[in-house]
């Protein structure tokens, strides 16, 4: 962090800006969420429950509203139909447990997705139009049994809704052909779209590679990316995160770079050790919680995948499903060091692990197999068509705060009964359960008694340990959050604090973007803890939680919709869907950060031992951090 150099000009414009913004903020702050209630279900704690059958197979899923999960499949012969052809998308209503088919128009096979800063979801790219068995359709403009035009250049948009009226809409603009692209939301709420191939296949090759990046809305022609160009053949769905520094981290095959996407400049970091993590090796990956304690410093965890050398991928003697997946876990804190560090290995080798950020700060690891990789084909050695085998049915949980050597645990966790192989997915729901669905390592819809890995519709919830606890019901959470600005108050009653006021110092407010889940990646998934302090009353065990707005840097979490939870002693409230930032694409307003009041537990007058514990550690931490935030805010203002 550079030393503070503030020109008088900066201060003048800052104070002018503060004054004008307080008016705006006054309006923004008046909108609060209704206090959340309790889960509608009683869960099987640490276990799975099948809650129904999806209409299409869940190759891609995301939470669009607090009540609706959207499914996107590849084009195939799903018995559910819409507009005279098989459906390949649907909506699942959580409270009513009902569904409806939807129509993404073109073939969304292995598309990428993510959400814009204004709340519109994107689903981008895909495959050619297909017919029975995934064979190319006679016409690439529609018609035929599946009536699906070529989706490789498609930009599909969805504004999620709760009234059953919304459907996918095609953007009139197109992208370059991309099958298996990655989407990452940028700090102005626009989208960067990375990589992909033109014709598909198990891995990429020079003849069909699209080693370029482009943007939505468009910023002009695609730009060549050297890392994508030199990491064939395993460069599809490149693992990409926007870092708090504003650089992007890209991990592809064995290589890692920073991308400065405005200067179009890539800077190499160390190669990743032990295993390939991108598709089709498909490691579990996740940015660990960004918290006031770690100064919002990003650490990325990569676990499993497969140790496959470049020439092996295309070797005719490579029998994929008999090759064991990796147990290796590594971490990278790219804004601090370019070196990967080994972390505790997975309890079981895994390819296609989905990593889900739980509100309590732990990471749930589920889905995938012990052998082989993602992908499928008509090879004699395939398991049916699957290139993976030996499903890992038991989840595992990673605690980033546990001492090294003790971070992974499977204790008490029950196995699922449903293999979740290639084309399965998982996403966090507002009630803190995790929806798990999909699995279809087949070219078309395929079910039957002798099919080991059929097209899977069974949809489960996994209920983490906190699920049946009485949930906190905080009052006063906002509906919109600014980057910087004034703190606000949330009230917790005695029940919310489990009738023990000292639990207020084990209370946190967290924002989670659950992301777009496909191919063991949750694009855009992120966990950010807000700075807090409290005024608590021993006399009646209630507390006012003082909560900071978002850190004044939209690269920490990009604008757009996300869930907010208040977590007391590891038990989250039911998450509310809120808007981060302005709700519009474009440079986000950055505000000076208001100081949090001193944390304080006020002793009962009647209580003889007269405890008056001020949360000194919490307050000093916040104070020190705020100076940094203030500087960032002022830099932002000068730029404005
Ligand atoms: C969000 O921005 C995109 C790109 O400009 C636009 O297509 C979409 O309609 C916008 N959504 C909303 C809700 O305004
Ligand atoms: C990207 O490079 C440009 C030009 O060198 C520089 O001004 C900018 O600060 C860089 N961006 C980041 C996020 O480092
Ligand atoms: C975070 O910042 C504070 C104050 O600037 C500093 O004291 C602390 O060491 C930093 N912590 C980390 C983990 O970098
Ligand atoms: C794979 O095999 C099936 C069944 O024999 C056949 O229908 C299909 O066309 C084949 N697919 C490819 C891509 O060769
Ligand atoms: C919370 O406060 C209680 C009582 O003051 C104390 O015993 C406990 O150690 C504190 N816990 C944390 C995590 O600070
Ligand atoms: C709890 O006690 C404090 C201090 O007497 C008081 O200000 C507050 O209103 C009380 N809260 C409730 C919910 O009774
Ligand atoms: C507790 O301590 C704070 C900070 O020193 C002080 O402002 C407050 O008056 C004290 N409260 C009681 C009830 O003693
Ligand atoms: Cu795929």
Question: What is 117-155 written as a DSSP string?
Answer: TTS-EEEE-----B-GGGPBPS-TTS-TTTT----TT-E
Mutation choice for ligand 4 from 109, 133, 441, 442, CB with most ligand atoms inside 8 A: 133
For the chain, what are the domain ranges?
8-34+470-634
262-293 burial string, b = 16+ CB within 10 Å, else e? eeeebeebeebebbbbbbbbbbbbbbbbbbbb
CA 559/CA 549 separation, integer angstroms? 13
What is the per-residue pLDDT for 200? 86
Give the range among 25-34, 184-193, 349-358 with minimum mean pLDDT. 25-34
In degrees and rounded to multiples of 5, residue 249 shows phi and psi of -100, 130
Side by side, the strands of the sheet bearing 458-463 are 47-53, 458-463, 434-438, 424-428
Q: Ligand 7 centre from 600 Cα, in Å?
A: 7
Instruction: Give 229-257 pLDDT, tens digit per residue.
Output: 999 999 999 999 999 999 999 999 999 99
Specify whether the CB–CB gap between 77 and 445 falls below 8 A. yes
- Nearest alpha carbon to residue 350 among 453, 405, 245, 424: 424
pLDDT band at 606 (very low <50, low <70, confident <90, very high): low
pLDDT band at 11 (very low <50, low <70, confident <90, very high): very low
> CB of 537 closer than 6 A to ligand 6?
yes
Ligand 4 centre to CA of 133 (Å) is 6
Pocket test for ligand 6, best of 35, 475, 495, 537 (most atoms within 8 A of CB): 537
Residue 604: pLDDT band (50, 70, 90) is confident
Q: 377: pLDDT confidence band, cut at 50, 70 and 90? A: very high
Q: Is 239 exposed, middle or buried (0-12, 13-18, 19+ CB in 10 A)?
A: buried
Place of tokens 């390939």: 276
Q: Are strands 408-409 and 396-398 parallel, antiparallel or unpaired?
A: antiparallel
Pocket test for ligand 6, best of 492, 542, 543 (most atoms within 8 A of CB): 542
Tens digits of residue pLDDT in 141-178: 999 999 999 999 999 999 999 999 999 999 999 999 99
Q: Which ligand is nearest to the CA of 531?
A: 3
Ligand minimally distant from the alpha carbon of residue 600: 7
Q: What is the C-alpha to C-alpha distance for residues 122 and 217, in angstroms, rounded to an integer?
A: 11
| Torsion, CA 472, CA 473, CA 474, CA 478, rounded to 10 | 120
pLDDT digits (tens, 9 = 90+) for 72-95: 999 999 999 999 999 999 999 999
pLDDT at residue 30, as a whole number? 59
**β-pair partners for 22:** none
Residue nearest to atom 6 of ligand 4 (CA): 133
Averaged pLDDT for residues 399-423: 98
pLDDT at 303 over 70: yes
Average pLDDT over residues 526-532: 98
> Could you give the 3-state DSSP secondary structure of residue 276?
strand
- Rounded Cα gap, residues 457 and 55, in angstroms: 7
Residue nearest to atom 14 of ligand 4 (CA): 378
Q: Is 2.60.40.10 the CATH number for 8-34+470-634?
A: yes
Query: How far apart (Å, rounded) are the C-alpha atoms in residues 588 and 482?
Result: 9
Query: CB of 262 closer than 6 A to ligand 2?
Result: yes
d(CA 127, CA 607): 70
Tokens 């599909």 correspond to what residue?
156
Residues having CB within 6 Å of any atom of ligand 4? 133, 135, 378, 443
Q: Does the C-beta of 171 come closer than 6 Å to ligand 5?
A: no
- Model confidence at 613, pLDDT cuts 50, 70, 90, reads low
Mutate which of 600, 605, 611, 620 for ligand 7? The one with the most ligand atoms within 8 Å of its CB, which is: 600
Selection from 509, 479, 488 nearest residue 581 by Cα? 479
Cβ of 602: how many Cβ atoms within 10 Å? Answer: 16
pLDDT of residue 620: 33
Q: Would you state the pLDDT for residue 16?
A: 38
Flag whether pLDDT at 625 surpasses 60: no
Lookup: tokens for 394: 């038991």
| pTM score | 0.91
User: Closest Cα to atom 5, ligand 4: which residue?
Assistant: 378
Say which residue the tokens 């179009």 belong to: 264
- Ligand 3 interacting residues, C-beta cut-off 6 A: 294-295, 624-625, 628
For residues 170 and 154, give the distance between their C-alpha atoms in angstroms, rounded to a whole number.
7
- Which ligand 2 atom minimizes the distance to the CA of 263? 2
Nearest ligand to the CA of 601 is 7
Contact 407, 347 (CB under 8 A): no
Rounded distance, CA 145 to CA 424, Å?
Answer: 25
Which ligand number lies closest to the CA of residue 171?
1
Judge contact between 265 and 257, C-beta under 8 A. Answer: no
Distance from C-alpha of 423 to C-alpha of 537, rounded to nearest angstrom: 51
Ligand 6: centre distance to CA 494 (Å):
10
Share of the chain above pLDDT 70, in %: 90
**Atom of ligand 3 at shortest distance to CA of 1?**
5
* Cβ of 502 less than 6 Å from ligand 5: yes
Contact between residue 529 and residue 292 where contact means Cβ atoms under 8 Å apart: yes
* Angle subtended by helix axes 616-639 and 8-30, to nearest 10: 110
Digit-coded pLDDT (tens) for 336-358: 999 999 999 999 999 999 999 99
- Position 127 scores a pLDDT of 96
Answer whether 602 contacts ligand 7 (Cβ < 6 A). yes
pLDDT at 591 over 80: yes
Place of tokens 């700060």: 361
Q: pLDDT tens for residues 265-296?
A: 999 999 999 999 999 999 999 999 999 999 99
Start-end of H helices in 231-281: none
Mean pLDDT of the chain: 92
* Separation of alpha carbons 235 and 211, rounded Å: 8
- Atom number in ligand 2 closest to CA 260: 1
443, 445, 448, 450: which to mutate for ligand 4, most atoms within 8 A of CB?
443
The per-residue pLDDT for 616 is 39
- Tell me how far apart the alpha carbons of residues 498 and 488 are, in angstroms, rounded to a whole number: 23
Residues 6+ apart with CB under 8 A from 76: 57, 86, 88, 130, 134, 146, 440, 443, 444, 445, 455
Q: Tell how far the Cα of 31 is from the centroid of ligand 7, in angstroms.
A: 32
How many residues are there in the chain? 640
For residues 554 and 589, give the distance between their C-alpha atoms in angstroms, rounded to a whole number.
9
Q: Are 478 and 488 in contact (CB under 8 A)?
A: yes
> Is 540 touching ligand 6 by the criterion CB < 6 Å?
yes
- Over residues 113-144, the pLDDT tens digits come to 999 999 999 999 999 999 999 999 999 999 99
Please provide residue 172's backbone torsions phi and psi, each rounded to the nearest 5 degrees. -65, -20
Give the position, in ligand 7's atom list, of the atom nearest the Cα of 612: 1
Cα gap 106→88, rounded to integer Å: 10
């Amino acid at each position: 962090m550079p030393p503070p150099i503030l020109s008088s000009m900066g201060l003048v414009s800052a104070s002018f800006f503060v004054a004008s913004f307080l008016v705006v903020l006054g309006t923004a702050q008046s909108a609060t969420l209704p206090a959340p209630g309790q889960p509608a279900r009683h869960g099987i704690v640490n276990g799975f429950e099948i809650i129904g059958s999806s209409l299409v197979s869940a190759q891609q899923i995301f939470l669009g509203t607090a009540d609706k999960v959207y499914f996107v499949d590849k084009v195939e012969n799903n018995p559910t139909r819409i507009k005279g052809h098989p459906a390949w998308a649907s909506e699942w209503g959580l409270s009513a447990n009902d569904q409806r088919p939807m129509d993404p128009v073109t073939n969304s096979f292995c598309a990428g997705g993510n959400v814009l800063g204004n709340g519109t979801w994107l689903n981008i790219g895909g495959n050619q139009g297909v017919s029975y068995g995934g064979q190319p359709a006679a016409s690439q403009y529609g018609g035929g049994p599946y009536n699906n035009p070529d989706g490789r250049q498609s930009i599909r948009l969805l504004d999620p809704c709760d009234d059953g009226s919304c459907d996918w809409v095609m953007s009139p603009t197109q992208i370059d052909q991309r099958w298996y692209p990655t989407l990452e939301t940028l700090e102005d709420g626009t989208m960067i779209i990375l990589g992909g191939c033109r014709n598909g296949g198990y891995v990429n090759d020079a003849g069909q590679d699209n080693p370029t990046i482009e943007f939505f809305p468009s910023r002009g022609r695609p730009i060549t990316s050297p890392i994508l160009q030199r990491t064939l053949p395993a460069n599809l769905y490149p693992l990409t995160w926007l870092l708090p520094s504003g650089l992007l981290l890209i991990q592809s095959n064995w290589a890692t770079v920073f991308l400065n996407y405005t200067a179009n400049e890539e800077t190499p970091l160390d190669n990743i050790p032990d295993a390939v993590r991108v598709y089709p090796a498909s490691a579990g990956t996740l940015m660990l919680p960004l918290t006031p304690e770690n100064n919002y410093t990003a650490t990325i965890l990569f676990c499993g995948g497969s140790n496959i050398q470049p020439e092996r991928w295309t070797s005719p003697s490579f029998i994929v499903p008999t090759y064991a997946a990796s147990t290796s876990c590594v971490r990278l804190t790219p804004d601090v060091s370019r070196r990967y560090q080994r972390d505790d290995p997975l309890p079981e080798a895994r390819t296609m692990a989905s990593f889900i950020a739980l509100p309590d700060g732990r990471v749930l690891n589920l889905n995938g197999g012990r052998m082989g990789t993602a992908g499928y084909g008509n090879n004699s050695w395939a398991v049916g068509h699957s290139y993976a085998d030996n499903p890992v049915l038991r989840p595992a949980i990673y605690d980033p705060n546990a001492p090294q050597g003790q971070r992974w645990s499977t204790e008490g966790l029950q196995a699922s009964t449903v293999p979740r192989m290639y084309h399965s997915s998982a996403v966090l729901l507002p009630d803190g359960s995790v929806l798990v669905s999909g699995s279809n390592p087949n070219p078309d819809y395929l079910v039957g008694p002798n099919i080991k890995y059929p097209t899977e519709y069974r949809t489960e919830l996994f209920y983490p340990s906190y699920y049946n606890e009485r949930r906190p019901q905080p009052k006063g959470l906002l509906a919109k959050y600014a980057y910087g600005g004034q703190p606000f108050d949330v009230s917790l009653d005695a029940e919310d604090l489990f009738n023990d006021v000292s639990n207020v110092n084990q209370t946190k407010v967290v924002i989670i973007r659950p992301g777009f889940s496909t191919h063991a990646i949750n694009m855009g998934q992120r966990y950010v803890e807000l700075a807090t302090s409290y005024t608590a009353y021993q006399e009646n065990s209630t507390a006012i939680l003082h909560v900071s707005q978002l850190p004044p840097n939209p690269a920490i979490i990009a604008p757009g919709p996300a869930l907010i939870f208040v977590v007391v002693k590891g038990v989250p409230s039911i998450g509310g869907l809120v808007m981060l930032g302005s709700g519009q694409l474009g440079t986000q307003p950055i505000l000076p950060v208001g100081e949090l009041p001193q944390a304080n537990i006020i002793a009962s007058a009647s209580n003889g031992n007269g405890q008056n514990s001020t949360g000194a550690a919490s307050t000093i931490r916040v104070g020190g951090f705020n100076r940094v935030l203030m500087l960032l805010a002022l830099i932002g203002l000068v730029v404005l």
